[in-house]
Structure 1
């Protein structure tokens, strides 16, 4: 029984530390002055651009969301969308977006925002562009939701 408890503890330690691992690569400034509830938001660094559209608009809580991302001058082997709560931990929420077969700069996928009891919830929605060399470009966007 003691060996099982030790194995369980080691497994949980690895699981928790794996979630806290820092990504190596470039971190872009957070886009805070764009309302994803009403429009496509864009982030730009030099000649590289990332555009994020979430629908339906306004963005509902605990309902399926369609994600569309367009990348310009950003090479990526895999693109993920990570959603995290800023003012409250909301668990792990990361999805891999699929490249469009007709347009390799366009990616799509589905996710949802978890329900929260806070009146106002602040979210960080981060695009994670994984490069072939193991580097990850992080492109964060801020979203605010309200319980109504």
Structure 2
């Protein structure tokens, strides 16, 4: 009888541990933003850089060195900011219709408001894939999210 109570207590403690770890990791997997700015839906990252104007006269531009954006090949991504200096810049690539795993490179400061990193999109078995590409910017006082859509693997 005492062993059963011990196993029950251990089980409850393990469940509590999983809940605490999940709670602590949730901001990393599902980032919360203070400001979300919708880009122009007509902007196509497969053909050109896309820029948005933020409140306060600030500007953010997302671009890639390769067009169309390739699958399974590394490519450079760059975020350029004007009017403010972010403390952290990431770009999150999430499959729209299929979970393609965690893919969020941290961009390194290059100077003059430029941040760059190398990214690779995994291949989808269908060949076509819609991506939610979210630029995540942290400043000292706010978190900014700019969600773009990107289709890869098809004719462009």
Normalised by the length of structure 1, the TM-score is 0.81
Query: Is 2:151 the counterpart of 1:141?
Result: no
User: Which has the larger share of strand?
Assistant: 1
Report the count of equivalent residues. 144
Structure 2 unmatched runs, 5+: 1-6
| Structure 1 residues 119 and 91, CA gap change in structure 2 (3 angstroms) | same
| Structure 1 residues 12 and 117, CA gap change in structure 2 (3 angstroms) | farther
Aligned equivalent of 1:58: 68
Equivalent position SS for 2:69: coil
CA RMSD of aligned residues (A): 2.6
Distance 1:108 1:125 in 2: 15
2:70, 2:153 within 8 Å by CA — same for their partners in 1? no
More off after superposition, 13-22 vs 66-75: 13-22
User: Which has the larger share of helix?
Assistant: 2
Structure 1 unmatched runs, 5+: none
Distance 1:31 1:112 in 2: 24
> Which of these two proteins has the greater Rg computed from alpha carbons?
2
* Equivalent runs, 1:11-90 vs 2, <5 Å: 12-17=18-23, 18-19=25-26, 20-46=29-55, 47-90=57-100
Aligned equivalent of 1:108: 116
For residues 62-86 of structure 1, the C-alpha deviation after alignment (integer angstroms, 9 at most, x for no partner) is 1101011111123311111111111
CA offset at residue 56 of structure 1?
1.6
